[in-house]
A and B are shown apart, each in its own frame.
Chain A
Amino acid sequence: MDIRLENLSKTYGTVPALSPLSLTIEKGERVCLVGPSGCGKTTLVRLLLGLIEPTTGTITGLPEKVSAVFQENRLCPDFSLLTNVLLGDRKATKEAALELLLRLGLQEAARQKAATLSGGMARRAALARCLVREADLYLLDEPFSGLDEATKLAAMDTLRTYTKGKTVLLVTHDKREAAYLSCRTVTLTKPVVEKNL
């Protein structure tokens, strides 16, 4: 089923976070969301995750099983990298998780506590936790931020392989990422603050 956003917007008090947006994402489609900072990309992801309610508009056709990479890594700091990845899906096996870690170049850090991972490793760990989940919709908020070119390529490759045929919405600043992942690009514009003159 396609995901339909109709006239969707979000305002915090009087501050607009997302201008009214209508968009259809077809089943199995990959959409890249680009736009300047503050245009509401993360707000849109949070709306789709059901973490906030829209001010206007509706979302229909959202699948039940969703997976995500948040803007922040949101790992459980006291547990190992492997445990964190396994938290992505109750049905995930250790083998599947280790395979993902191998692809992302994290296999040697599997037993390391999440709190001790470097920024780039933690980002890839968040991506691994997202991809280990068998979901119908993947929402990724700048999943490659802070990665160097080589790890970014491996991460994009893994993303492409693991989400084949699935609906993906990817937030990015980088048009090359959009091209590499052969996404349809949707550009958001910054909401205008109305001033009472």
Chain B
Amino acid sequence: MRRLWRNKSIRQLLAGLLALLVWQVLSLLLGSPLLLPGPAAVLGRLFALLLTGDFWQRVGFSLLRVGLGFGLGLVLGLVLGLLGGRFPLIQTLLWPYVAAMQAVPVASFIILSLLFLSAGQLPVLICFFVVFPPVYENVVQGVRSTSIELLEMGRVFGFSWWRRLQYLYLPTLKPFLLSACTVGVGMACKAGVAAEVIAVAAGSVGESLYEAKLYLLSEDLLAWTVAIVIFSRLLQRLLQGLMQAAFALWEGR
């Protein structure tokens, strides 16, 4: 028993089970499935949802938009971060936009953007808005911390910019990029669904959340929430795995 307790994942699993128990007890004490349905009811509802085609269509719709926005944020953050890290003038010119993206509440962006974007397009932009700043900032920092000694070596050996990027900058950026992407995916999932809820994007996960709230379907609300959390974690793991595999492949050549 003591040996089991020493295992961190087992401890975490037990704590998780305890939390589920607390949830169940709270739900029984409140005595109203409308206010707080118990975990068993929510998981039951989630399994029922998993069996419907509508669920997967909505998940596909939302993941596509989160993925697009994330990809856009990652690519632009990487390119502009490389430029900003290398040329201080570009970093100076960009700072007002990056600072605004970081400071303005996501809800304000969503409502403002709704004036000129359709409900289907909105999540893409919002995901981009939350992913771009951390990726950009991390890449700038990574470029700045690239070894001067190695950069001098590249200069003496006549490295092209592409070679410098491949062999000097990217290896330094690796940990920065990995952490920025992991944080970014989680934020993109949350902000993307928030945008869908506010815009009531037809056929999205956010629309289901909105309807569950409208018709007081608490079980549905929580079941969808659990689904979002699970998909967000899966995406994080998938992305981490892909990036690590890509780096390993590249370095092993």
Contacts and interface: CB of A to CB of B under 8 A. Distances in A.
B251 A79 contact: yes
B251 A49 contact: no
Nearest to B153: A74
B181 to A, nearest CB: 18
A66 B251 contact: no
Contacts of A113: 251
B116 interface: no
Contacts of A89: 157
A87 B158 CA distance: 9
B168 interface: yes
Given A76-B171, A87-B167, A66 B156 contact: yes
Q: How large is the interface on A (under 10, 10 to 19, 20 to 34, 35 or more residues)?
A: 20 to 34
A79 B251 CA distance: 5
B163 A70 contact: no
Contact of A72 (B149, B159, B167): B149
Nearest to A77: B171
Looking at chain A's contact residues, the main secondary structure is loop
Contact of A74 (B150, B163, B171, B252): B150
Interface string B154-175: 0111111001000110010010
B157 A49 contact: no
Interface in A63-104: 65-68, 70, 72, 74, 76-80, 83, 87-90
Nearest to A129: B157
B54 interface: no
A79 B167 CA distance: 8
A124 B168 CA distance: 21
Given A76-B167, A78-B171, A83-B253, A90 B150 contact: no
A76 B150 contact: yes
A133 interface: yes
A133 B152 contact: no
Contacts of B159: 87
Nearest to A70: B153
A106 to B, nearest CB: 18
B171 A90 contact: no
Interface string B114-154: 00000000000000000000000000000000000110110
- Give the top 10 A-B pairs by smallest Cβ distance, nearest first: A74-B153, A78-B171, A78-B251, A76-B167, A74-B149, A68-B156, A49-B156, A51-B152, A79-B251, A88-B157
Interface of A: 49, 51, 65-68, 70, 72, 74, 76-80, 83, 87-90, 113, 129, 133
